[in-house]
Amino acid sequence: MNVSRKIPSRRYFLKSVGATLSLPTLHSLLPDTLGAGSALGATISEATTPNRMVAIGNLLGYQLPYFFPKTPGKNWEPTRLLQPLEGLRDDLTIYRGLDHGVKGGHFAVHAYMTGVLSMDAKGRPDGNISLDQLAAESVAGRTRFPSLTIGSETGIHGGCQMSWTRSGVRIPPIPGPKQLFEKLFVGEPMGQLAQVKDMNALQGSILDAVSGDAKTLQKRIDSEDREKLDEFLTSVREVEQQLQLKEQWVEVPKPEAPFEQPTNKNMVEDLPLLYDLMVLALQTDSTRIATLEIGGDFEPKHLGISKGYHSLSHHGKKQENIDQLLVLEDYQMKQFARFLEKLEGIQDGEGSLLDHTSVLFGSGMSNANSHSNSNLPMILAGGGFEHGEFKDVPMDHHKVPLCNLYLSVLNQFGVERDNFGTSTGTFA
């Protein structure tokens, strides 16, 4: 038996400072022993006034009897939770009957922006890439940040899991207004610019070596390992793109800060400020895509409620618990309405910032009490769509996937695609 071949270590490619990529176990290299991943397929046509996209998700859903109106069409009556949006009814559309056709309770919430569970994404051309990240690929380089992912790293089932790359990597969120402010307005000190450039160059050269070494091994592995390797190289390319963007913007000054740097308090008190900073990020064209997840760290005690959010969501149909949940949800809806009003009040080209920003609002959970992921609460605002209706979509065997709406949002954003997630076409 020939035992003279050198067996690469699983950490053979971990040579960079700050690069957290490790080679997967390739069984065809044991004891014997990299392929190109999928190309980015989205393209975008730039408009004079750029299009923008915002997605807001709640981890625990909303109380649907207080969310959905009773009358479909343009004459929908404002329910308790929609009351704050009454003055914006011509700028938004409410949907009932849309979802992703997935099950799994809290776990399935992670499919909110992707349409597919991560376990079902293997072999799909786009993996389980989220709506925001697919759009961000198409505008990479045109703004300092291709996208901003905002949320928490605490709460039930781990941190924010709304945004995913095509290789299935979760985008870590910006956890509070302090960090978001720094990202938008605080630049590198002049004395550190050279150091940042040197670090970018070092990481770039290491990634070049990783890619080169990997490609020399392509013909020495079997099909199963080649699939693993393709996923690995896709992750390498994602890091390469991030480094290129960092290098491109390193000497470009950030916008002047409109106020002093805030401190983080808690998700309840920070929510209005996070929305305000999102408006500034869009207004200054620091980014055109942002997501915000309201998760398990939205603590009811800051609204005078003693029980925890998650425990309240399992209300057991007790009206006392539902009433307390509605206090939390009322607050969230008021802050969302305030966000839309701010976008509407900012001139942007020949319209308002809201006219050029598609804003999705909803949840991957419809009923936390029963762990249901069907019939999700969804609102689409702005973006140049024709609005003003409550659309009650039939939930029969001709069911319309939520991803059809997402595909329409992508097309309106400018991304030329025929499908997204589990879509069967654009929403009609």
CATH topology of domain 41-187+259-413: Alkaline Phosphatase, subunit A (3.40.720)
Residue range 341-375, pLDDT digits in tens: 999 999 999 999 999 999 999 999 998 889 899 99
Residue range 282-318, pLDDT digits in tens: 999 999 999 999 987 898 999 999 898 988 988 988 9
CA distance 167 to 121: 10
Count helices and strands (H / E) in the chain.
8, 9
Cα separations in angstroms, 242 against 39, 85, 227, 249, 281: 16, 38, 23, 11, 19
Q: Which of 138, 137, 130, 126 shows the shortest CA–CA distance to 43?
A: 138
The one-character DSSP state at 384 is: T
Residue 362, judged by CB atoms within 10 A of its CB (0-12, 13-18, 19+), counts as: buried
Contact 326, 312 (CB under 8 A): no
Report percent pLDDT > 90 for the chain: 57
Where does 221-379 have alpha helices with state H?
223-249, 267-283, 309-313, 319-344
Report the chain's mean pLDDT, rounded to a whole number. Answer: 82
Reply yes or no on whether the pLDDT at 6 is more than 50.
no
Contact 53, 135 (CB under 8 A): yes
Cα torsion 73, 74, 79, 82: sign: positive
Q: What are phi and psi of 229, to 5 degrees?
A: -65, -40
Residue range 20-46, pLDDT digits in tens: 444 444 444 444 433 333 333 344 444
- Which H or E run contains 404? helix 402-413
> What's residue 244's pLDDT?
64
